[in-house]
DNA sequence: CGATCTGTTGACACTGCTCAATAGGAGTGG
DNA sequence: CCACTCCTATTGAGCAGTGTCAACAGATCG
């Protein structure tokens, strides 16, 4: 059956969402949050490996990750595709689509995931009424710019070891923000994904992790990581 | 004399500005453009080598480059500083400052330049009233995100030759957009700046330009470039 | 017109890529 | 539940593209 995208029709309930403090709803008062709720079209489930959207698709909505995680993949006309970001619950994706009203990358679920669908024209309308929401949206745009310029620094200047260390610390910090362990977690992406994101080969990622393990900075077992010495990683 | 920043006090006159079609005013009607004019605080001159703002400065305004050009420099706690972008007349800078209300990089004039100063809280207020302006601001944010993700692709995947070729073609296209020659121009930045932006050393930039010249793709004389074969450059 | 900054070119070293072989894990169907 | 397959990860060896260091030339600016 060529099913329509699975959309939840229950109300989004930002007010009870675990992610409300790091999501679009951050800094809104209860009444405002309810109005944001009302423009959220619903939820959409995306199975592992499925695409939430593809490069070239018309842009209509932003998506807030409610559960699960995604990677975004940019594919140039010629040349290899590259992973431009990893996103977990509480992050928003799709902002790259605004400027040409067309998505600029593929968003692929790294595990079975759920997103809130936020039609952009409704969000814009609401931002014209609710100043804190407008400010929050602008901050989210800006934060994405800053995140990317950090990544550019990483890609332009840092050694393979530094890149892997920075990546692990970044993942660690994001788990911590979300209330999970900062030192013990399971990576949802492959070595190839990590390598693509960091601008190195998957072999280099693997070797570097092994080396860090030998040096006692962490333990690796496949996708399971335990960080043993955050400071030493940071000193790379 | 510890002069206050040089602010022009004449009205900004978007309506007569050469850059109105690629700037924030793009897609506005005359009446709307006049209202944008009214929130532009004025002009500020920045001499070559001077900073428009520094990382850590409180964020208050966006800046539209009216004449001249800038580079933005990100300096991490540890490690080398990196050039994250080059901006010419018609481009806007400062959007990285919104998310933490603090500028995230230094913006340095590559030549004597003039910018329009646009206080952000006034711009936001106007965006709540003028839908096309709101949309344009969102597009500018998004375009910056897309530009950076292209740069990440370049830094992550491409060889030194490809990076230099892509850089030249990008500069070329931007001159063309602005009505200047796409094949003959003067670079305003040093080899070191280019290298930093492209994630290679200045020597590699220099060598690559020499190689392209030997192959008949272009001629170089210091900062003066003439592109002889855009297609061949693109084929790198 | 000297001092300093910027650009060019060469020689060499080293990081990280390529290619290759092997092992471990996850999912599938009998 | 096991056997099979496919995907992912690990590790090794050799090489190539860039970085590093150095010398010099050419611009630019006071």
Fold that domain B158-234 belongs to in CATH: Arc Repressor Mutant, subunit A (1.10.10)
Distances in Å between the Cα of B45 and the Cα atoms of A203, B22, B25, B63, B122 are: 50, 21, 21, 11, 21
% of chain A residues with pLDDT over 90? 80
Q: Which sign, positive or negative, has the C-alpha torsion A53, B84, B73, A230?
A: positive
Question: Which whole-number Å values give the CA distances from B34 to B7, B11, B19, B124, in the listed order?
Answer: 20, 10, 15, 16
- Asked whether residue B11 carries a pLDDT value surpassing 70, the answer given is no
pLDDT tens digits for range B114-166: 999 999 999 999 999 999 999 999 999 999 999 999 999 999 999 999 999 99
Q: Which strands form B113-119's sheet, in the order they lie side by side?
A: B7-8, B42-46, B113-119, B61-67, B92-93
Residue B4's pLDDT band (boundaries 50, 70, 90)?
very low
Nearest residue to C8 (CA, C1')?
Answer: B206
Burial of B34 (0-12, 13-18, 19+ CB in 10 A): middle
User: Hey, are the CB atoms on A98 and B138 less than 8 Å from each other?
Assistant: yes
What was the pLDDT predicted at B2?
38
Residue of B16, B10, B14, B34 lying closest to B24 (CA atoms): B14
Q: What percent of chain B has pLDDT over 90?
A: 81
Looking at residue B12, its pLDDT comes to 56
Are the beta carbons of A138 and B139 separated by less than 8 Å?
no
Count, residues in chain B: 236
Mean pLDDT over A167-176 rounds to 96
Per-residue model confidence as pLDDT tens digits over A156-170: 999 999 999 999 999
Model confidence at A2, pLDDT cuts 50, 70, 90, reads very low
Q: Give the integer Cα–Cα distance in Å for A195 and B72.
A: 27
Mean pLDDT, rounded, of chain B: 91
Superfamily, domain A14-148: Jelly Rolls (2.60.120.10)
B23 or B123, which is more confident: B123
Of A137-146, A179-188, B26-35, B93-102, the one with minimum mean pLDDT is B26-35
What is the average pLDDT across B87-94? 94
CATH 1.10.10.10 segments of chain B: 158-234
Integer CA distances (angstroms), B130 to A130, A175, B25, in order: 14, 39, 12
The answer to whether A22 and A90 are in contact (CB under 8 A) is yes
- Give me the pLDDT at residue A146, please: 95
Distance from CA of B82 to the nearest CA of A (A): 6
Indicate whether A3 pLDDT > 50. Answer: no
pLDDT in tens, B198-232: 999 999 999 999 999 999 999 999 999 999 999 99
CA-to-C1' distance for A7 and C30, Å?
A: 37
The string of pLDDT tens digits covering residues A39-85 is 998 899 999 999 999 999 999 999 999 999 999 999 887 778 899 99
Distance of alpha carbon B72 from alpha carbon B87, whole angstroms:
8
- Domain(s) labelled CATH 2.60.120.10 in chain A stretch across 14-148
pLDDT score of B27 more than 90: no
Chain C footprint bases within 7 A of protein beta carbons = 6-11, 15-20, 24-26
From the CA of B27 to the C1' of D6: give the distance in Å. 53
Average pLDDT over residues A211-227: 94
Partner A, chain B 114-133, Cβ-Cβ below 8 Å: 124, 127-129, 131
Pick out residues whose CB falls under 7 Å from strand C: A 159-161, 199-201, 203-204, 221-222; B 190-192, 202-203, 205-207, 209-210, 220, 222-223
Chain CA centroid to CA A137, Å: 16
φ, ψ (nearest 5 deg) of residue B84? -100, -10
Contacts of A34 (CB under 8 A, 6+ apart): A14, A15
Report the distance from CA of residue B220 to the C1' of nucleotide C8 in Å, as an integer: 12
pLDDT at res. A12: 56
Q: Are A141 and B145 within 8 A, CB to CB?
A: yes
In this predicted model, what pLDDT tens digit does every residue of A81-120 receive, in sequence order?
899 999 999 999 999 999 999 999 999 999 999 999 999 9
Q: Is the pLDDT of residue A5 over 50?
A: no
pLDDT digits (tens, 9 = 90+) for B54-72: 999 999 999 999 999 999 9
Query: What Rg, from alpha-carbon coordinates, does chain A have?
Result: 19
**Chain D: bases < 7 Å from a protein Cβ:** 8-13, 17-22, 26-28
The DSSP result for A132-201, as a single string, is HHHHHHHHHHHHHHHHHHHHHHHHHH--HHHHHHHHHHHHHHHHHHTTS-SSEEE--S-HHHHHHHHTS-
Q: Mean pLDDT for chain A? A: 91
pLDDT tens-digit map of B45-57: 999 999 999 999 9
**Residue A162: half-sphere exposure toward Cβ, Cα within 13 Å:** 12
pTM for this model (two decimals): 0.91
Q: Which of A34-38, A224-228, B144-148, B208-212 has the lowest mean pLDDT?
A: A34-38
> Across the interface, do B149 and A80 touch by the CB < 8 Å criterion?
no
Contact A152, B151 (CB under 8 A): yes
So what's the pLDDT on residue A4? 42
CA-wise closest residue to A22 among A88, A107, A119, A96: A88
Tell me the residue length of chain A: 236
**B36 in Cβ contact with B71 (< 8 Å):** no
CA distance A36 to A15: 10
């Amino acid at each position: 059956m060529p099913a329509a995208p699975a959309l939840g029709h229950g109300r989004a309930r930002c007010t009870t969402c675990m992610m409300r403090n790091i999501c679009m709803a951050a800094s809104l008062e209860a009444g405002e949050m309810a109005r944001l709720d009302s423009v959220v079209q619903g939820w959409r489930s995306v199975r592992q490996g499925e695409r939430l959207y593809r490069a070239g698709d018309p842009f209509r909505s932003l998506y807030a990750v409610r559960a699960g995680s995604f990677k975004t993949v940019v594919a140039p006309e010629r040349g290899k595709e590259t992973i431009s970001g990893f996103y977990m619950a509480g992050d928003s994706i799709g902002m790259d689509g605004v400027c040409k009203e067309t998505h600029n990358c593929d968003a692929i679920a790294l595990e079975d995931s759920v997103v809130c669908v936020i039609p952009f024209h409704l969000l814009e309308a609401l931002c014209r009424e609710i100043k804190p929401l407008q400010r929050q949206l602008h901050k989210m745009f800006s934060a994405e710019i800053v995140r990317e310029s950090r990544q550019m620094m990483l890609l332009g200047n840092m050694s393979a070891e530094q890149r892997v260390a920075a990546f692990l610390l970044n993942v660690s910090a994001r788990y911590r923000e979300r209330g999970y362990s900062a030192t013990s977690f399971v990576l949802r992406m492959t070595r190839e994904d990590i390598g693509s994101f960091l601008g190195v080969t998957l072999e280099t990622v693997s070797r570097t992790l092994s080396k860090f393990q030998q040096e006692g900075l962490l333990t690796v077992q496949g996708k399971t990581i335990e960080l043993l010495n955050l400071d030493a990683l940071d000193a790379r």
